[in-house]
Amino acid sequence: MITQRQSLLVQVLLNSPHPLSVETLALHFKVSSKTIRNELKAINHEGERFKLKVISKPSLGIYIQDKQNAYWNKLNQDLNYINPQSRQYLVFLIALTHSKVSVQECAEKLYVSRQTLTRDISRCKQTFQLSQEMFKQTTHGFMFHWDEFNLRHLLIQTWLPLLPLELTITYLSQSFPHHYQTSQHWIKDVQTKSKIELEPTSYTLVLVLTTLLMIRCTLSLPSTMNVNLDDDATQRLQLIIQSSRLSIGSMQVHRHQDELAKLLLHSLCNALHISVNEEDVHIQSLLMHLKATLLRIKHQSFIENPMIEDVRVSLSLIYDVTQQCLLQFEKEHQLSFNDHEISYIVMHCGVLIQSLGTIDSQLKIAIVCPHGSATSQLLMNRLQHILPHHHLHGPYSLNEFEALRSHTIFDTVITTVALGIKNEIVVHPLLNLMDQDRIEKSVWNATYQKQCERVLQTYHVNQHEHLTMGMMLKPHQFQFSNTSLSWRQAIHKAAQPLLEEGRIKPSYIEKMIWAVDHLGPYMVILPHIAFVHAAPDDGVIHNGISCLRLHEPLSFGDKKSVEVKVIFVIASRAKEDMGLVKLIHLCEHESNMNTLLYSNSIQDIFAMKGSNQCEVRSPCKDQDDQLPKSSFQCKKV
């Protein structure tokens, strides 16, 4: 293997029509001449297996012999994964997979000096919190000096989550190919016998752990050359697999865990006001995931969700209510759900709500075209192709549509002539590309708004005391603006009070803008009102809320924009805060929404009243308080 710099050095020499001096190469790579000579020596050492050679002649310079040899490309593809940031992890892996490691041999393997390796070992010990008792180091070498079973426990519970997966896989597959391949066969055999298939990320984690445990088993039994797993390693891996995410099938769960998962399922569905139909494929998927989650918690296993920040932002409402439900469940059953587990559960709940609310999110669209039957039918056919999931009515003539308007309500009207109504989209009879773009954007906005309304109506709110806007905001945190702003500028201005108070960092504002830019305007939960936020780790110092009311609506977002007149910025660190849900229930009442959108009196806005406590209810226990039979019904608040 060669390093990235060595690979670039080979490329320069391959592309150069004439030999280059050491000094020229040193200047090009901004390193010393000694470093270049060492790099050339390393390249020649790695090239020996392919009979490749870099020639160095004092009178001529540095050049590559036999540039046409295809193995130069092979050498370049076999790129080393070693870099300054990775070396501490490689030091750890090398120590973990060998009984004792020579400092000199390790330094040569990592292409560094003994002094650099000593610093890497020090960083490794800090990163993995290795005490002198468990990690023995001398001037000649280093090794793990710890009880094998305790070491395996720490590997699973503490160390493995710290290791970069890609680097670890590369190291194991290249340094221990036989163990790596045997581990793959072992996992395949387990999956076949259990009729399951591990989700890709879980498979990678299990593969890494299986290979490492297999190597540890080999080290603990030096008298045998067999590559196998002992009973302890097998049991540990079986527990890990039981609590892993699956793409296909399900693992058998202990009865208590099964009952606990069903209880949690009912708690979540009750909180979101969804009846539990265990024959529904999405309910089954959520239940299977909850069983695995509880197993992970029981065995103190780990899982990472790479989309955790996107989930917190794009599914913020569902995240808040799910989190509150899980907090209550934690207290009742002495459990602890970390943020990654919560975000995965939120994703399953989001799919469930979306699937059950699909019918309610379909739009009723009228088609108006007074240009003859052929043109009208052509327009209708094209619209059916563009909008296959919505209810299209028509095509109507002007007289037919006027007769319908008095007793039929349409979400959107697509018309070839201007009608002067609010929800119309005027298009060319033959639909050009601009027309299609406007239709898709407008219908997306209307559909999204309907879905938001549906999600809002699923929240259970206990109305014990009255909450006012004045209890949520301080006067200096509310701003009126008569200036024409872009949506990015508006977010900056809306967040300014929290920034000045030291409640957020500038990075939090940039992350909010990034979220809208990449995830779309998912924060526009109520008509014309955006509840903007990002993840707590993106720069929240203290909880806080600020608000900007614009004189005229602006187009919020670029790709799928919606009109917005009020922007709330929410910064929250505490799980129990529920600031988003409280604000929504304060603003959703029609009279409060009109006051917020149109009143110029801050006193009237701060006097807006709503409910004070936004809680997730416990599962229904009384027969009369059972979940409704309908798969998706709303409860008034």
Q: Which long-range contacts (CB under 8 A, 24 or more apart) does 357-362 make?
A: 357/451, 357/454, 357/455, 357/632, 358/389, 360/450, 360/454, 360/632, 361/447, 361/450, 361/451, 361/454, 362/389, 362/390, 362/391, 362/447
Residue 355 pLDDT exceeds 80: no
**CA-to-CA dists, residue 535 to 199, 251, 322, 383, angstroms:** 26, 33, 16, 39
Please compute the mean of the pLDDT values over residues 562-574 and round it to a whole number.
87
CA dihedral 146, 148, 153, 158 (to 10 degrees): 40
Q: Are 405 and 393 in contact (CB under 8 A)?
A: no
Nearest to 512 by CA among 567, 455, 588, 575: 567
Angle at alpha carbon of residue 632, lines to 535 and 440, rounded to 5°: 65
Q: Are 221 and 193 in contact (CB under 8 A)?
A: no
Could you count the other beta carbons within 10 Å of the beta carbon of residue 116? 14
Please compute the mean of the pLDDT values over residues 306-310 and round it to a whole number.
76
Please compute the mean of the pLDDT values over residues 590-608 and round it to a whole number.
90
| Residue range 444-466, pLDDT digits in tens | 767 766 666 665 665 544 443 46
Residue 269 pLDDT exceeds 70: yes
CA–CA separation, 611 vs 588, rounded Å?
A: 11
pLDDT given at position 508: 92
**CA-to-CA dists, residue 289 to 229, 248, 300, 305, 345, angstroms:** 28, 12, 16, 14, 8
Residue 492 pLDDT exceeds 90: yes
Asked whether the bond before 395 is cis by omega within 30 degrees of 0, the reply is yes
CA–CA separation, 186 vs 191, rounded Å?
A: 9
CATH class, 253-355 region: mainly alpha
CA dihedral 501, 506, 507, 508 (to 10 degrees): 40
Please compute the mean of the pLDDT values over residues 229-255 and round it to a whole number.
78
Q: Identify the burial level of 205 via C-beta atoms within 10 angstroms of its C-beta, where 0-12 means exposed, 13-18 middle and 19 or more buried.
A: buried
| Residue range 105-122, pLDDT digits in tens | 898 888 788 888 899 999
Please compute the mean of the pLDDT values over residues 69-74 and round it to a whole number.
76
Residue 368 pLDDT exceeds 90: yes
Q: Which fold has domain 4-77?
A: Arc Repressor Mutant, subunit A (1.10.10)
Residue 636 pLDDT exceeds 50: no
Specify the DSSP class assigned to residue 64: E
pLDDT classification of 626: cutoffs 50, 70, 90: very low
Domain ranges of the chain: 4-77, 253-355, 360-455, 462-613
pLDDT given at position 457: 60
Q: What percent of the chain lies above the pLDDT cut of 90? A: 24
| Residue range 501-553, pLDDT digits in tens | 999 999 999 989 988 887 777 788 788 899 998 878 788 888 889 999 999 99
pLDDT given at position 81: 56
Q: What percent of the chain lies above the pLDDT cut of 70? A: 85
pLDDT classification of 567: cutoffs 50, 70, 90: very high
**CA-to-CA dists, residue 288 to 328, 347, 406, angstroms:** 21, 14, 49
Residue 627 pLDDT exceeds 50: no
pLDDT classification of 41: cutoffs 50, 70, 90: confident
For strands 61-64 and 54-57, give the pairing. antiparallel
Tell which CATH classification among 3.90.1690, 1.20.1300, 2.60.40, 3.40.50 matches the domain 360-455: 3.40.50
Tell which CATH classification among 3.30.43.10, 3.40.930.10, 3.40.50.2000, 3.40.190.10 matches the domain 462-613: 3.40.930.10
pLDDT given at position 537: 78
pLDDT classification of 8: cutoffs 50, 70, 90: confident
For strands 412-415 and 364-368, give the pairing. parallel
pTM of the model: 0.52
Nearest to 52 by CA among 60, 61, 40: 40
Residue 617 pLDDT exceeds 70: no
Q: Identify the burial level of 18 via C-beta atoms within 10 angstroms of its C-beta, where 0-12 means exposed, 13-18 middle and 19 or more buried.
A: exposed
